[in-house]
Chains A and B, each alone.
Chain A
Amino acid sequence: MTQASDSIRFILNDTEIALSDVAPTDTLLDFLRLQRRLTGTKEGCAEGDCGACTVLIGQLAGDAKDDESLVYETVNACIRFVGSLNATHVVTVEHLAAGDGTLHPVQQAMVDYHGSQCGFCTPGIVMSLYGLWLTNDNPSRAAIEKALQGNLCRCTGYEPIVRAAEAAAKERPSAIFDPITRTREKVAARLKALQATETIVIRNGEDCLVVPADAAGLASVLAENPDATIVSGSTDVGLWVTKQMRPISPAVFIGGIADLQRIETSEAGLTIGAGVSYTAAFEALSSAYPSFGGLLDRIGGEQVRNMGTIGGNIANGSPIGDSPPPLIALGATVTLRSKDGTRSLPLEDFFIAYGKQDRGPGEFVESIFAPALPAGDRFAAYKVTKRRDEDISALLGAFLISLERARVKTARIAFGGMAATPKRAKAIEAALIGEPWTEDTVRAAQAAFETDFQPITDWRASSAYRMLAAKNLLMRFFLESVGEKAQLQRFEYVA
């Protein structure tokens, strides 16, 4: 079946949808609630932080495109645009119970364990637990908490919800009981057929949304529309729309572009496509740089990690994005592409000033390359927040050093939250290089923070706290390198 080029086609629960009248700013949540009257999915915050709007989205990942590669992930419908849904299967809470009203085991466990009180967050929590249930039949408490990182409940204190998740994991009445398991093959085949082979363009008055089929298509679209808004995971752009009510037309939705979603590992290092989500990047990043895994688990909630991309985190240039500092410390380069070709530059040079990056008209971030960690080098990244999980960094420090005969040979240190951009700490590095790797050296180098950084005071932290904690992170890095316990962990690290 050939793909029409003027509509977004996807499956909603068990219904196939084709929409040719879609504005770039139309959200999945409003579509569900207002157009389809599927009111089980709630709006709690409209910014991807509370999870009341959690739905599952299934899509074909990887190159095989069979039902094995059909992956369902939780997302926040409030900041997910309809324009990004082509060739996906959207599953809402209404799809879980059987036709006769028999509740899904996840739902029944939530009832049996008193997991709901006011009930408003509950459909979203059910969907997050369902996402976990699909992939894990014996989840640890750490895994359950991770699955719930993007869901706020103000009533229960979560304890009964966690118990429900544990109980539900063991309940698997039969394969056909579960609506997703039951239709997996059929859905995979339909989604394959729905995949666009050419650019989708939908115009409506001044509004225009474009869904390129591949990276080359994206380059052409951007050549014609250099001012277009590139929308990948929409974890940031979503808020431009729901909170600032900013127009984003023409909007180019790149979430479905397979050639931006490749991860390549070589001896030289790791290449991550700009469209790779945090979730998809987790395995590669955490095995290449173990400290990165722990950090990724503290970026956003599960839904945001499923949507948000490393490329987007870099391209939007935020001074408090969490992936740039560790990547800068690792010596990563970023590759930009346009219709005229590609160019690469050190990531730290990409960030010019607050709100200003080295990205020319028609260019987009294509990939990031991070060199392999040389044997013996020490690398760590530490995020400091008011709330441990799903919080934006007050500051984030990343450290890479190599030692030679107990002296610091090389040092690359970068911080987020300490300046107007993610920034290398050159004075601190200089204070360390050539010195013996001792506590005295670290103490002496702490003074250099004042040279590198003059952090601001805001609602996340005061300037004084940022400075003090930043200095202490260097001390933590040192103490950990000599085997001292210098940070808290709720659970032993679970991948």
Chain B
Amino acid sequence: MDKSTFEDPQTIAGPMHAELRHDSAHKHVAGTADYIDDMPEPAGTLHGALGLTDRAHAEILEMDLSAVAALPGVVSVLTAKDMPHSNDISSTHLHDEPVLADGRVQFHGQPAFAVIAETRDIARRAARLAKITYRDLPHRIDVADAMAGGGELVTPPLTLQRGDAEGELERAPRRLRGKMRIGGQEHFYLEGHIALAIPGEDDDMTVWVSTQHPSEIQHMVAQVLGVPSNAVTVNVRRMGGGFGGKETQGNQFAALAAVAARKLRRAVKFRPDRDDDMMATGKRHDFLVDYDVGFDDAGNILAVQATYAARCGFSADLSGPVTDRALFHADNAYFYPHVKLTSQPLKTNTVSNTAFRGFGGPQGMVGCERIIEEVAYALGKDPLEIRKLNFYGDKDSGRNVTPYHQKIDDNIIPQIIEELEASADYQARRAAIVEFNRTSRVIRKGIALTPVKFGISFTLTHLNQAGALVHIYTDGSVHLNHGGTEMGQGLNTKVAQVLADSFQIDIDRVKITATTTGKVPNTSATAASSGSDLNGMAAFDAARQIKERLVAFAAERWQTTPDNVSFVQNHVKIGEERVPFAELIGQAYIARVQLSAAGFYKTPKIHWDRAAGRGTPFYYFAYGAAVSEVSIDTLTGEYLVDRVDVLHDVGRSLNPAIDIGQVEGGFVQGMGWLTTEELWWDEKGRLRTHAPSTYKIPLASDRPKVFNVRLAEWSENAEKTIGRSKAVGEPPLMLPISVLEALSMAVASVSDYRECPRLDAPATPERVLMAVERLKQLA
């Protein structure tokens, strides 16, 4: 579809490409936007709490729950054997993830039972009264442990290979090897997990869940209960943040609520305390990247070989596609003439890591940018110079093939970099910083410009499909439903804009309704940044069907040809006549025209052969770049982010206000991941940073002091996406790699930039100070 197929966008309120507020903004600020815990509870609703284990790896010898059950107000205590049909919520169908631990504990905090009580408070108190006897088993907590223990994998690894990396590394004039640790990340959605299950007649179960993936919740609840999918309806109006943490991790709470609701014939709600949520649900994978790069004296990269080993936790969950995506982004925006990349999805006795905005891509990219830094420091050059030498070329350059053999046809990185380098005054500022560092004893500065190229599509090709359901009622008001979920990203606003634009009616005539498996079936998770691309197109298709019927009806009624019928400014223009939209709808109804349609979309062109490591997994790429400037205190390692300039590509923006919000928010979230957000496990395998008191996400005072964010307004998607826009959810998260590298440059100044600081992530003040010390000793 081309944007030219749309009518003049200036004539209605809220067309595509308009700067529009979030559809729920007025409710957010008034406290009237309902999240699941805000909904009135059905009479007699019971409340659940998880019974957590406190061993990283152990056999459960005995579980004495008598005190739990005896606490007044406790109604029921559930264990694995109470699952009516199946104690399995493995999203991969590998049967490696129980609802409740059955005989064996695989991570510290794994739930082994659940308490159902009259109040949440009673349930939580009771959950602490269990007496569990364990026989400890050896545990493997991190990547190093897992490797030392034989390197058991949770899912098959991937290899991407092109050319002869090994041979070229041997032959390269220069060669460097190194390792980088990249930490994980807690989602810290402000609304924690929650599920409310309401039993109906027969097998029916309605579940309200804070989830990005209602269809999977539906399937898991059906599977655990042993009922067909058509008995389970899953609803979600909005989430208080998701970020990937609600792609699969809601299964457990929904399943437990449904099991209890079925058993007790009462509504049951699970809302874990923040600490339980952080201990019992998965996070971003942390990685150990082992890299080997061959290059020449000019800085041309000749070959790269790297292994990306990830802490996956006790089960596969999404670790397969996450570690795959890490490899898909281990090239970032650079052409590697010879390359071999391998993933190592390691099993550990920790909570099963899961999706998180970027889905492995960020870790792939951070490892890649470390390689660029290594080459630059080895040659005494500005890393930006090395970047420019190694960017992918255009279609005809012979330098546009990725390690997975997809050709890049839409490369705009050179334009982005050129424009940003100038607008951010990069060269002059870098020179000034080098000068500043020559004379400043304690405070040092750094600056870095890093690019982002991010592949858009689910790499599991069949997931790239979506549906929408559109009704027009006889008064001309429009009911919109689609398979995507709203977690704050503004998806509903954008899809409503598509409908308003299609029908050329004001957006306030379009009612956005809760996502439900009952209206649009078999949906994919709202993930992989795909929400607007897929659901926008599905809604567009639904509108197209209704419009075709309306046009045919109008042409017949007004005795004209269909090409004389058009939708303009809340009217339908039929020949010379302008009929109000609502009036035409009323007449169409009387004439028995169907005013409802189910739209559908599947992404064209993509295919992926994982075994061969070849294909076109991505429909297109989103690009961007950022310049970050930081100051560090070389006495304590503390730092400030002084200024950030971003230029980001969202194609032709569906809603610039929302897209800027995604870029700013993604940047700060990614910056948190690479700086202050540190997950810390003790030797017993206990996560000790399981609350905001100990796990530090950015505050307002951490955001860049000067923060200039622009969209590349000249960009249009080369592919026929909705309005020629591009996905925006994940790509900006990787822009703050520039912050990490700027910190690294500030550290490097203490040894006159002769050594690559090899600053690992997250670059906490402690890591910065220790890197400063290491370089001082070398100097």
Is B one of A's binding partners?
Answer: yes
Task: Tell me if A176 counts as interface (CB < 8 A to partner B).
Answer: no
Assess whether A39 is in contact with B443, with CB atoms less than 8 Å apart: no
Does A154 contact B243, Cβ atoms closer than 8 Å?
yes
Would you call A488 and B28 a contact (CB within 8 A)?
A: no
CA distance A392 to B696 in the complex (A): 10
Are B664 and A160 in contact, with the CB atoms below 8 A?
yes
Partner of B664 from the list A43, A111, A157 (CB cut-off 8 Å) is A157
Contact of A122 with B188 at beta-carbon distance under 8 Å, contacts A111-B21, A157-B664, A388-B702 already known:
no
A114 vs B28: C-alpha distance when bound (angstroms):
11
B contacts with A, residue count (CB < 8 A): 88
Q: A47-B274, A469-B769 are in contact. Are A459 and B665 (CB under 8 A)?
A: no
Q: Is A436 an interface residue (CB 8 A)?
A: no
Q: Which single residue of chain B is at the shortest CB-CB distance from A466?
A: B766
Among the 9-residue stretches A93-101, A280-288, A322-330, A425-433, the one with 4 or more Cβ atoms under 8 Å from chain B is: A93-101
The A82-120 residues at the B interface (CB cut-off 8 A) are 92-94, 96-97, 103, 107-108, 110-112, 114-120
Interface segment, one of B30-38, B154-162, B710-718: B30-38
- Cβ A386 vs Cβ B676 within 8 A: yes
Nearest CB of chain B from residue A161's CB, rounded to whole Å? 7
> Which stretch, B143-151, B200-208, B541-549, B630-638, touches the partner chain A?
B630-638
A93 surroundings in chain B (CB, below 8 A): 29-31
> Smallest distance from the beta carbon of A321 to chain B beta carbons, Å?
14
Interface membership of B238, Cβ < 8 A: yes
B639 touches which of A47, A461, A486, A488 (Cβ 8 Å): A488
- With a CB–CB cut-off of 8 A, which chain B residues contact A43? 37
Do B35 and A158 have beta carbons less than 8 Å apart? Answer: no
Chain A residues whose CB sits within 8 angstroms of the CB of B275 once the complex forms: 243
Flag whether B273 is at the interface (Cβ < 8 A): yes
- Residues of chain A lying within 8 A (CB to CB) of residue B394: none
B703 within 8 A of A: yes
Output the least CB separation between B210 and chain A (Å): 10
**Contact between A120 and B191, CB atoms less than 8 A apart:** yes
Is A117's CB under 8 angstroms from B700's CB?
no
User: CA–CA, A94 to B48, complex, Å?
Assistant: 29
Q: Chain A residues near B40: list those with CB within 8 A.
A: 37
Cβ-closest chain A residue relative to B664? A157
Interface positions, chain A 452-473, Cβ under 8 Å from B, are: 458-462, 464-465, 468-469, 472-473
Chain A CB within 8 A of B688 CB? yes
Stretch from A144-152, A366-374, A400-408 contacting the other chain: A144-152
Contact B636 A391 (CB under 8 A): no
Is A116 touching B770 in the complex (CB atoms < 8 A)? no
Query: A458 vs B694: C-alpha distance in the bound complex, in angstroms?
Result: 11
Establish whether residues A117 and B678, one from each chain, have CB atoms under 8 Å apart when the complex forms.
no
Assess the A107–B665 pair: CB atoms within 8 A: no
Report whether A94 and B240 are in contact in the complex, using a CB–CB cutoff of 8 Å.
no
| Contact B665 A110, beta carbon cutoff 8 Å | no
For the complex, give the distance between the alpha carbons of A479 and B633 in Å.
13
B395 CB-CB contact with A under 8 Å: no
Say yes or no for A217: interface residue by CB 8 A criterion.
no
Q: Determine if B487 and A116 form an interchain contact, defined as CB atoms under 8 angstroms apart.
A: no
- Contact: A114 with B691, CB < 8 Å? no
Q: Are B638 and A39 interface neighbours, CB within 8 A?
A: no
B668-712 interface (Cβ within 8 A of A): 668-669, 676, 678, 680, 688-689, 691-694, 696-703, 705, 707, 709
Is A42 an interface position by the 8 A CB rule?
A: yes
- Which of B35, B664, B703 is close to A42, meaning CB atoms less than 8 Å apart? B35
A387 at the interface (CB under 8 A from B): yes
Q: A476 in the interface, Cβ–Cβ < 8 Å?
A: yes
Would you call A119 and B440 a contact (CB within 8 A)? no
Taken together as a complex, chains A and B put the C-alpha atoms of A121 and B241 apart, in Å, by 10
Whether A47 lies near B26 (C-beta < 8 A) is: no
Question: Main SS of chain A's interface residues?
Answer: loop
B769: chain A residues at CB < 8 Å are 465, 468-469, 472
List residues of B (604-646) whose CB comes within 8 Å of A's CBs: 631-633, 635-640
Given contact pairs A52-B190, A103-B29, A158 touches B697 in the complex (Cβ within 8 A): no
Chain A stretch 468-490: residues in CB contact (< 8 A) with chain B? 468-469, 472-473, 475-476, 479, 484-488, 490
The smallest C-beta distance from B733 to any residue of chain A, in angstroms, reads 11
* Cβ of B377 under 8 Å from chain A: no
- A154 CA / B125 CA spacing, docked (Å): 30
Is B30's CB under 8 angstroms from A96's CB? yes
Q: Contact string, A17-46, partner B, CB cutoff 8 A, digits 1/0?
A: 000000000000000010001111111111
Contacting pair B703 A158 (CB below 8 A): yes
A490 & B640 in contact (Cβ 8 Å cutoff): yes
**Of the residues B26, B664, B693, contact of A159 by C-beta under 8 Å:** B664
CB distance from A390 to the nearest CB of B (A): 6
Question: Nearest-CB distance from B696 to chain A (Å)?
Answer: 4
Cα–Cα distance between A96 and B28 once the two chains are bound (Å): 13
Question: When the two chains form the complex, which single residue of A243, A460, A487 contacts B633, counting CB atoms closer than 8 Å?
Answer: A487
CB-CB under 8 A for A153 and B692, given A112-B21, A119-B488: no
Beta-carbon contacts of A310-336 to B below 8 Å, as 1s and 0s?
000000000000000000000000000
The residues in B between 12 and 70 inclusive whose CB is less than 8 angstroms from any CB of A are 21-22, 24-35, 37-38, 40
Residues of B within 8 A of A115 (CB): 29
Q: Which of B191, B637, B668 contacts A118 (CB 8 A)?
A: B191
B134 on the interface (CB 8 Å rule)?
Answer: no
Residues of A within 8 A of B38 (CB): 39
A40 touches B30 (CB 8 A): yes
Does B25 lie within 8 Å of A111, measured CB to CB?
yes
Given contacts A149-B699, A158-B700, A161-B700, contact A40 B694 (CB under 8 A): no
B432 within 8 A of A: no
The answer to whether B701 touches A117 (Cβ under 8 A) is no
Given A117-B661, A118-B189, also A384-B31 (CB < 8 A): no
A155 at the interface (CB under 8 A from B): yes
Tell me, yes or no, whether B657 is within 8 Å of chain A by CB: yes
Minimum CB distance partner of B688 in chain A? A459
Tell me if B497 is interfacial: C-beta within 8 Å of chain A: no
Instruction: State which of B30, B32, B692 has its C-beta within 8 Å of the C-beta of A45.
Output: B692
Q: Is the Cβ of A459 less than 8 Å from the Cβ of B658?
A: no
Query: In the assembled complex, which residues on chain B have CB atoms less than 8 Å from the CB atom of A154?
Result: 187-190, 241, 243, 665, 669, 697
Give Cα distance in the complex from A46 to B191, angstroms.
Answer: 12
**B442 on interface, CB distance cutoff 8 Å:** yes
Measured between alpha carbons, how far is A114 from B20 in the docked complex, in Å?
A: 9
Given contacts A44-B274, A103-B26, A118-B190, is CB(A462)–CB(B766) below 8 Å?
A: yes
B311: CB under 8 A from chain A? no
> Does B239 belong to the interface (CB within 8 Å)?
yes
Which of B31, B442, B631, B689 contacts A476, CB < 8 Å?
B442
Q: Say whether B29 contacts A110, CB under 8 Å.
A: yes
* Chain B nearest Cβ from A38, distance in angstroms: 8
Smallest beta-carbon distance B5→chain A, Å: 29
**Which residues on the B side are within 8 Å of A160 (C-beta)?**
661, 664
In the complex, the answer to whether B31 meets A47 with C-beta atoms within 8 Å is no
The 8 Å CB contact of B28, one of A108, A116, A394, is: A116
Q: Is residue B441 contacting chain A, with contact meaning CB distance below 8 A?
A: yes
Q: In the complex, which residues of chain B have a beta carbon less than 8 angstroms from the beta carbon of A41?
A: 31
Q: How far is the CB of B358 from chain A (nearest CB, A)?
A: 15
Q: Which residues of A contact B701 (CB under 8 A)?
A: 145-146, 148-149, 388-389, 490
* CA–CA, A122 and B440, complex, Å: 41
By the criterion CB–CB under 8 Å, are B638 and A42 in contact?
no
B265 at the interface (CB under 8 A from A): no
Is the beta-carbon distance between A42 and B191 smaller than 8 angstroms? yes
State the 5 A-B residue pairs at the shortest beta-carbon distance, nearest first: A40-B31, A118-B488, A120-B240, A119-B28, A157-B668
Tell me the B residues contacting A by CB distance below 8 Å. Answer: 21-22, 24-35, 37-38, 40, 124-125, 128, 187-192, 238-243, 273-275, 440-443, 487-490, 631-633, 635-640, 657-658, 660-661, 664-669, 676, 678, 680, 688-689, 691-694, 696-703, 705, 707, 709, 764-766, 769-770, 773
5 residue pairs A–B, Cβ–Cβ below 8 Å? A38-B31, A243-B273, A388-B638, A458-B688, A469-B769
Q: A120-B240, A154-B188, A158-B699 are in contact. List 9 more A-B contacts (CB 8 A).
A: A42-B191, A45-B274, A45-B692, A93-B31, A148-B700, A154-B187, A154-B669, A394-B765, A475-B635
